[in-house]
Amino acid sequence: MRARVPHAHADRLVIFPGTQTILFNLLAHLARPGDIVLTEALTFPGIKAAAARLGVKLIGVAMDDGGILPDALAKACRAHRPKAVYLIPTLHNPTTATLSAERRSAIAKIISDADTILIEDDAYGLLDRSASPIANLVPEGTYLATTLSKCIAPALRVAYLVTPDNAAQRDMRAGLQATVQMPAPLMVALVTHWIENGIADRIITAIRNEAVGRQQLAQRALKGIQFLAKPVAHHLWLRLPDGRPDVAAHLLRNGLAVVAGDAFTVDGTPPHAARVSLGAARNRAELTEALRILVGALHRPADTRQIV
């Protein structure tokens, strides 16, 4: 836990009431309307919303199943001279891709060579501790954001931002105070108590184990269906059948927690895919029924009805 929320760098730490507040404040601090920020070709909808509100232009960089391609990122940095690069290198949202150590090293060098700033969204990092943040390789060029809502409880609105230096920390504190004043002190005190007494680690371990169990259940239920997943992820990235634009809408009508690919697409044609949340079900029995509905929807004939 402490590796992701480094108390040794308290002079560079700012506590926010959620990742979305961090992203909005970071974009407002680092970029101006019309400036360019690079992201993965598919990215968190929250950064898209913040950029649209602030007039910042996002440009997507090519990915494969292993995450963003370093060569493509280097080329995009040379072409666009971005104000920042926003990445989700661990359990990527929506694809679950986790960058290898080699790619992390390459990206750290690209950030340094391009003289730009990395915004590293480590929302799921506490679920996969084998992946070291890129911030550890280029701390002077990275803002590292970590949240507890994905690994302890959704309603726990406490997120941490480690800044590159003391001056950046002061700037981000001023931005926080100008927008939402502060996170709820009682909630921060509770979380701090949990971290210091090991309670947070025990909760995270239990949630990680539950995520593994749900992914195993999904692997069995979706056998023969194309999707990307990681053992500790809360979601999976499902390839939808060609010629079936109705599938995602059908699943939503049946109460399934899915988000179609266009919500994550930065530019270009959205992939025919959907993010499926495995953590939304209250228990594994409910998840089993949801997966049964999902498989049935994928195998049923296309709905050719038209409204006239």
Domains by residue range for the chain, with CATH: 7-196 (3.40.640.10), 211-299 (3.90.1150.10)
pLDDT of 302: 58
- Look at the pTM and tell me if it is higher than 0.85: yes
Which of 308, 287, 303 has the alpha carbon at shortest distance from 248?
303
Please name the residue that has the structure tokens 């025919």: 272
pLDDT in tens, the chain (308 residues): 555 554 446 789 999 998 999 999 999 999 999 999 999 999 999 999 999 999 999 999 999 999 999 999 999 999 999 999 999 999 999 999 999 999 999 999 999 999 999 999 999 999 998 899 999 999 999 999 999 988 998 888 899 999 999 999 999 999 888 877 678 888 899 999 999 999 999 999 999 999 999 999 999 999 999 999 999 999 999 998 876 667 777 787 877 878 999 999 999 889 989 999 999 889 999 999 999 989 988 887 655 444 33
Q: What angle do CA 22, 152, 2 make, to 5 degrees?
A: 70
Q: Specify the pLDDT at position 306.
A: 40
Residue 184 confidence (pLDDT) = 81
For residue 287, how many other CB atoms are within 10 A of its CB?
20
Radius of gyration, alpha carbons of the chain: 20
pLDDT of 78 reads 97
The pLDDT value given to residue 214? 97
| pLDDT on residue 5 | 55
* Cα(26)–Cα(260) distance, integer angstroms: 27
Give the pLDDT score at 307. 37
What pLDDT is stored for residue 244 in this prediction? Answer: 64
In b/e form, how buried is each residue of 142-162, taking b as 16+ CB within 10 angstroms? bbbbbbbebbbeeebbbbbbb
Query: What angle do the packed helices 199-221 and 185-196 form, to 10 degrees?
Result: 90
